[in-house]
Structure 1
């Protein structure tokens, strides 16, 4: 969904120690604090339609919405007890867990591998992943596309050392890509769709068969383990709005275009490549996340290995 990959920056600097107490105090107040990012797709629609408020009313809970600039800030808010629940991509929770954050994997959206890809300029001589050897490749360090690049290189007999990574955030990477100062760009929607439509960029390979590209819903551990019924109702509300988006993708694109300023064509292409439907995490999904964590540890992108299962939601506790 639009901007589902915008939660990508390395999670660092977590303030530890007060999450449990703050989370329990907030739970007693029965205000569910949901974090979202500006332009955050399905949650924006959920907020406007009041679906979550209706789902939580039978439990006696109210809802407070708080906007965050990016995933690290959102996860830190969960960790210190300033928020209860929010969406991120695959990478930020791994960095957060490595930093000791007191958060759990509460839910996820299905894998959407077509929402991210390695792209090149329309007149580039690069035709395959093997052609990237010795080339300068732009990407956001530690993001989901970092894992896509690692997997794509490995699947084609290359190592990470065979390319020259240019670690740039999306806006800077787009400028470098347009100037031709990088040979390829590993990126996600809506930036991916925008480059295709406005620049004629070509796809070398998307993440199909290489990286899952799953979006996660993270929760503070005290809220998740002390209020399972409430968290299940939250996931049901998100799944309800996902169902509407799934059946009204063109209308969604029109409305999101008005909210974000992105061309409707860009939004629609991105949402058409997304798989939707919020659900609780499964052991299989966490196993996939563990592979990403192990890859990041091997590349020393995180300071120590992590056991993803330690951050699984223990439903009913």
Structure 2
């Protein structure tokens, strides 16, 4: 079943970024606001064979999009060039896309919400799903904490604007807590891992592969997973500038299809993909297999239910005072590639 975002108050259903060091707080001033939102009419398609002069600039996270495409052989025959830039998390990818420094990136469910709140110059053009079991709140193996309720008054490391940020807010709300009842310590994953291992925080809200690394390296214990609480979605976000460019738009459509095919390949070849992934990230194959066994993101339809679930997440952030209300999430969704992806997508389970 699709997880319900529980809120009794709901009424509506290595970066290249210029502000990378404060990307987690980008929505307070780093993102340039667009004049308006909402999908524009797509430019006329250009035959893929005529795109030899196009370079797509793709935002990535280590072991993510590029590794998957290469392992599946989907980068072997692109008529256009593809240049990848590595980021620590989704928020700086949204920042870079808004600045026109990248054309496309795959993020978790929360960075596009922060982008929408800031009226970022991006659109959500593809959607992906998983069970959210790799998104977890971890505690040290010897921690006395046994429930989310035990987090009251505790320090929780989390990346601001990341999917883990959304997850911890939902967990707090589901257990009658607010962000004021805990101390959220906003850290990027590498710094959060150091703080977690050094005992500087009591818990860590994080996603795979960091979840798997902490579990296999230090025996970190799972306090709770996001399954049944967060929607587990990922999204492909594209820069408005790229979508308005006929040649880049056509290349992006082809790229989105290749990414969907690569996800299918990974599902059909889990051991081969886990080995390739572990090598790309440079982690123990045991951790790599654990992460990819639960955190694959097959393509799904960018339908009304998915958009409504994201609006619910948006509302939770607004109601908790983490972001200011802005234009509806639907205004930042552009389903122009849905037709091309139909063969490779499924509808998220209800």
> Which TM class, normalised by the smaller chain length?
0.7 to 0.9
Q: Which runs of 4+ in 1 moved over 6 A?
A: none
Query: Is 2:299 aligned against 1:268?
Result: no
Equivalent of residue 156 in structure 1, options 151, 175, 200: 175
After superposition, what is the alpha-carbon deviation per residue over 1:217-238, rounded to whole angstroms, capped at 9, x for unaligned? Answer: 0113354477676554332211
Partner of residue 66, structure 1? 84
TM-score scaled by structure 1?
A: 0.82
Query: Is 2:312 aligned against 1:294?
Result: no
Structure 2: stretches of 5+ with no match in the other structure: 1-19, 338-350
Partner of residue 3, structure 2? none
> How far apart in 2 are the matches of 1:276 and 1:122?
29
Query: Structure 1 residues 179-188 or 190-199, which shifts more?
Result: 179-188
Structure 1: stretches of 5+ with no match in the other structure: 1-6
Mapped contact 2:133–2:226 kept (Cα < 8 A): yes
Query: Structure 1 residues 306-315 or 276-285, which shifts more?
Result: 276-285
> How far apart in 1 are the matches of 2:153 and 2:279?
41
Partner of residue 213, structure 1? 232
After superposition, what is the alpha-carbon deviation per residue over 1:145-171, rounded to whole angstroms, capped at 9, x for unaligned? Answer: 122112212222223222222222222
Change (3 A) 1:83 1:185: closer
Shift of 1:32: 5.4
Query: Structure 1 residues 30-39 or 150-159, which shifts more?
Result: 30-39
Mapped contact 1:293–1:305 kept (Cα < 8 A): no
Query: Is 2:91 aligned against 1:87?
Result: no
Change (3 A) 1:263 1:33: same
Shift of 1:73: 4.2
Shift of 1:142: 2.6
Change (3 A) 1:89 1:119: same
Mapped contact 2:128–2:233 kept (Cα < 8 A): yes
Query: Structure 1 residues 190-199 or 156-165, which shifts more?
Result: 156-165
Task: Note the 1:1-317 alignment, pairs <5 A.
Answer: 9-12=24-27, 13-15=30-32, 30=51, 31=54, 33-47=56-70, 51=74, 54=77, 57=79, 62-70=80-88, 71-221=90-240, 223-224=242-243, 231-315=252-336
Mapped contact 1:52–1:234 kept (Cα < 8 A): no
Shift of 1:186: 1.2
